[in-house]
Structure 1
Amino acid sequence: MPHITMTPPPAKHTGHDKLGHPHDLLDRALRAHFARLTMGASPHSAADAWFDWAVHLSRAPGRQLELAEHGVENAWKVFAHAIGQGEPPFAPGPNDHRFTHHGWAKPPFNAMQQAYLALEDWWDHAACDIPGLQHSDAQRVHFMARQALDMVSPSNLLFTNPETIEATAKSRGGNLALGAQLFWRDLMKAALHEKDTPPENFQVGRDLACTPGKVVYRNELFELLQYTPQTDTVRPEPILIVPAWIMKYYILDLRPENSLINYLVGQGFTVFCISWINPGPELRDVSLDDYRAKGVMAAMDAVSTISGGEKIHATGYCLGGTILAIAAATMARDGDDRLASMTLLAAQTDFTEAGELLLFLDESQVSLLEDLMYDQGYLDAAQMVGAFRAIRAEDLVWTRAVRRYLMGIEEAATDLGTWNADATRMPARMHSEYLRGLFMENRLTAGRFAVNGRVIALSDITAPIFLVGTEKDHIAPWQSVYKTKLFTDGDLTFVLTKGGHNGGIVSEPGHKGRHYRIHHRPPGALYTGPEEWFATNGQIEGSWWPAWTDWLAGKSGDPTDPPPLGAPKAGYRPLDDAPGSYVLQR
């Protein structure tokens, strides 16, 4: 197999070999300005999908007839229900909370609701695959049609939503006055590019990210936090947590009662955690491999030294799990056996089924983002958050807008909401390599991902793996997370837990309504598909955290005295109190 460099060029160029040619710079500057106007969305990608769908539909008269018949059938169902015949023919999806108010069951609102849901149903059929149509284009058309329908939902308008009408009558219009104030406040913030300030009762370092500890190492990419022991003895093998750098680490250290880090320390483990820097334009040339070498591996060296050479339970969350898997495969290839185990939390290693985020990625889209990042030096947090919100626009955009601007309800601050608003930026080069090398080209599981000029393979990893997926994950669908089983051969335990990408991981003991499924695959076992796995593994009530700590304990030695905080003689002296300074950067 030929050697392949890990990092593709930041963009394709034609006409000139030199990146800095004035003509090329002019084009990039104009495209970057255009990308700001569209929030990084490529109109060409959207137009291309619609054209592909329309052309193939125009050549399928049978499909056209089927859709016409389906439309007439839906219209008749709506009419029959409107005149009192039978139960409602259409129901909102399980995650659609726009029509929960009792007023939607009464006329005329029931007719408006059913007509809208009938239109959604028709588009679900219309945007299905047609012979010859690119599957990705069909998915994109379906997504864009849903986005358009979300905008015109009767729940969005004051006089077609029974809940807003009832609120206006009860408050004699007070809700509209409050909503207008909130709208003006949000409009001014957007115009002035102001960020939300953390609520007084959710301050980082005091109320959130407040597990006691020290910063024991710092470089240009991260601070390493070591947490103060809470038990007289600890397991000798430390835990190193690698969070995603697309988010602040304290999703895993919210309030003490729902902090995963605090829970682990309380269970007798020595815990270290990476706190990534919030990069600015000065880090534009930081690569994906820098996050492995200067991030994960530098942290691994520090943890190994401080713990006296003990093997490490490495844990990666989301994108942090992806880079941890890359690091683990590289370590296995190079004969580095410092891992006692590897835990991946809602982390993908294969990106062929990476969910609706793939709808935002093609050559036109990524090239436009690259031009924007080339100009800025990074991808701004707001330019990423929009894509995540669009995936669940009916809930995260429109329902929130109705409650805020039409009902005058200001959402109560929460720990998770405060963290969610505290987003980070992405270095230009790293994010380009991530989108192209992993998302678009899926190099890691295709056997084409190289580190230092040599290809790595997940199948080389021999450390036991604990793999966690979440049932309602829109960012890392659990079926995609599950595919790590397909590309590894060793001891692996898979857990599927209730919740989404964040809520499923922050699932502390005592959290109401939680459940999980768990199964151990011994080395050399045959592969079982996700549907069969789901059907044969029963539901267990409660949090998955105790199951994980039991698993970690089973892979650890007998408890011993805690190690010191840092190792000053080896160059790892305590620098600051946790949570450090990087997490406070905005």
Structure 2
Amino acid sequence: MSTKVLGTNFFPLLNIEKETKRWNNLYKIMTEHKPEIVPTPRQRIWKKNKTTLWYHPAKDKKHDVPIFLVYSLLNKVYILDVGEGSSVVGGLTERGYDVYLLDWGSPGLEDSDITLDNYIIDYMENALKRALRHSGAKEISLAGYCLGGTIAAILASITKLPIRNLTLAAVPIDFSIGIVPDKWLEGLQKGSLSFDQFTDAHETIPSEFLYLMFRVLSPVYGSPKINLITRAHDEEYVEKWRRMDKWTKDTASFTGAAFKQMFNDLYKDNKLLKGDLMIGGRKVDLKNITCPLFVFSCSRDTLVLDKQSLPVMDLVSSEDKTYEVYEGGHVSLALTGVFAEIWDKWLSSRSLDAEKEPV
């Protein structure tokens, strides 16, 4: 006589060790403080108002041309330096580059009249000058990520500073398309939707509003907990999730003047693509960019679509220019440190033999 145990085909045996790790890690996330972000070794070499320029020396210098990193004004810059093993900055210093990271900080109410012109000319261009003096190099590579890439491209087209290479990651250039709902874009472009009154009322846009805006527009800012629960047994994944969760909820504030300018000049009138943008009395014409150019997009990017980035390839005058699409999302490549590997692969042969000046 045989005996059957009903249900054994429907309820597979649990991996007790795996499940214990999963629920222990979930409990840890719910009860512990947000993780501390320990930056790659650095020195502050310049500061203006809330903005700081950090110098991260190469562990073993292999490249003559340093890298100047620029991130978006809308978020905290530490997404590029989220900890050992995941840091873009750390990955570049380990590969032999001196890195200068521009940290915009988070503006207060007293900064409400700071415009994009101020940020690009008074802050970024002056910080770039300081990086050149500090490095002793005659040329520097300018690398921009997200809206930081837009700003980097703008500066590269109007500055006389010696930019050896320009690299842009997940960069919006064409603002007539994107993740903003079609009705919003249509309203902005026709003038029936405007953020001017909202901006005038707040003067400096609070970080809470920007977090809510990003969360509505992109699942990245939801820090999806389904993925977390599925992979909570993986301690390395959990640690990266905790860092991303902290960063997504730690949005910067945004000056009212720059916010209005961004929506009116870029989203409404698409002046950068059309060649009508003026910054600091200088006309922004991307064809003025002649240095080697590397642009890459992410295949699963829910914040900046690759078709927003691609037009820059036809607008610049660079003869040495490369465009690639990599598997990944807008933030995941930064969290895994893959950005450093991608940048190094293209930059390494273009970052040698720069002439030196005394510091």
TM-score by length of structure 1 reads 0.50
Residue 298 of structure 1 pairs with residue 126 of structure 2: yes
Aligned partners of 1:399 and 1:548: how far apart in 2?
A: 31
Q: Deviations over 1:546-569 (max 9, x none)?
A: 3431321211225999x99xx6xx
* Distance apart, 1:311 and its partner CA: 0.3
Match of 1:327 among 147, 150, 155: 155
Note closer, same or farther for the CA distance 1:245–1:198 as it changes in structure 2 (3 Å cut): farther
Note closer, same or farther for the CA distance 1:358–1:279 as it changes in structure 2 (3 Å cut): farther
The code of the aligned residue for 1:353 comes to: I
Note closer, same or farther for the CA distance 1:237–1:459 as it changes in structure 2 (3 Å cut): same
CA contact (8 A) 2:50 2:105 kept: yes
- Structure 2 counterparts to residues 387-406 of structure 1, below 5 A: 387-392=213-218, 396=222
Q: Which residue pairs with 2:349 in the alignment?
A: 554
CA contact (8 A) 1:350 1:483 kept: yes
The code of the aligned residue for 2:217 comes to: I
Note closer, same or farther for the CA distance 1:398–1:222 as it changes in structure 2 (3 Å cut): closer
Aligned partners of 1:258 and 1:559: how far apart in 2?
A: 29
Residue 442 of structure 1 pairs with residue 270 of structure 2: yes
Residue 252 of structure 1 pairs with residue 68 of structure 2: no
The code of the aligned residue for 1:554 comes to: S
Residue 473 of structure 1 pairs with residue 297 of structure 2: no
SS in 1 for 2:312: helix
Q: Deviations over 1:140-192 (max 9, x none)?
A: xxxxxxxxxxxxxxxxxxxxxxxxxxxxxxxxxxxxxxxxxxxxxxxxxxxxx
Q: Which residue pairs with 2:11 in the alignment?
A: none
Q: Which residue pairs with 1:497 in the alignment?
A: 326
Note closer, same or farther for the CA distance 1:358–1:290 as it changes in structure 2 (3 Å cut): farther
Residue 223 of structure 1 pairs with residue 52 of structure 2: yes
Q: Which residue pairs with 1:571 in the alignment?
A: none
Tell me how large the CA RMSD over aligned residues is. 3.1
The code of the aligned residue for 2:205 comes to: L
Aligned partners of 1:379 and 1:297: how far apart in 2?
A: 24
CA contact (8 A) 2:138 2:355 kept: no
Aligned partners of 1:353 and 1:327: how far apart in 2?
A: 23
CA contact (8 A) 2:112 2:203 kept: yes
Q: Which residue pairs with 1:315 in the alignment?
A: 143
Q: Deviations over 1:31-81 (max 9, x none)?
A: xxxxxxxxxxxxxxxxxxxxxxxxxxxxxxxxxxxxxxxxxxxxxxxxxxx
How many residue pairs were aligned? 318
Aligned partners of 1:457 and 1:257: how far apart in 2?
A: 38
* Runs of 4+, deviation exceeding 4 Å: 363-366, 392-395, 397-400, 558-561
CA contact (8 A) 2:58 2:95 kept: no
* Distance apart, 1:439 and its partner CA: 1.1
Q: Deviations over 1:330-359 (max 9, x none)?
A: 12xxxx150010111111122122233565
Aligned partners of 1:252 and 1:311: how far apart in 2?
A: 23
The code of the aligned residue for 2:35 comes to: F
TM-score by length of structure 2 reads 0.80
Query: Percent same amino acid among aligned pairs?
Result: 23
Match of 2:40 among 186, 199, 211: 211
Aligned partners of 1:198 and 1:287: how far apart in 2?
A: 41
CA contact (8 A) 1:221 1:294 kept: no
Match of 1:460 among 288, 304, 307: 288
CA contact (8 A) 1:221 1:295 kept: no
Aligned partners of 2:77 and 2:221: how far apart in 1?
A: 25
CA contact (8 A) 1:280 1:377 kept: no
Gapped runs of 5+ residues in structure 2?
1-29, 230-237
Gapped runs of 5+ residues in structure 1?
1-196, 404-410, 509-542, 568-586
Q: Which residue pairs with 1:169 in the alignment?
A: none
Residue 342 of structure 1 pairs with residue 169 of structure 2: no
Structure number with the bigger relative contact order (C-alpha 8 A, sep ≥ 6) is: 2
SS in 2 for 1:374: helix
Q: Which residue pairs with 1:351 in the alignment?
A: 175
SS in 1 for 2:180: helix
SS in 1 for 2:101: strand
Larger Rg: 1
Residue 433 of structure 1 pairs with residue 266 of structure 2: no
Aligned partners of 2:258 and 2:221: how far apart in 1?
A: 31
Residue 202 of structure 1 pairs with residue 35 of structure 2: yes
Aligned partners of 1:485 and 1:394: how far apart in 2?
A: 27
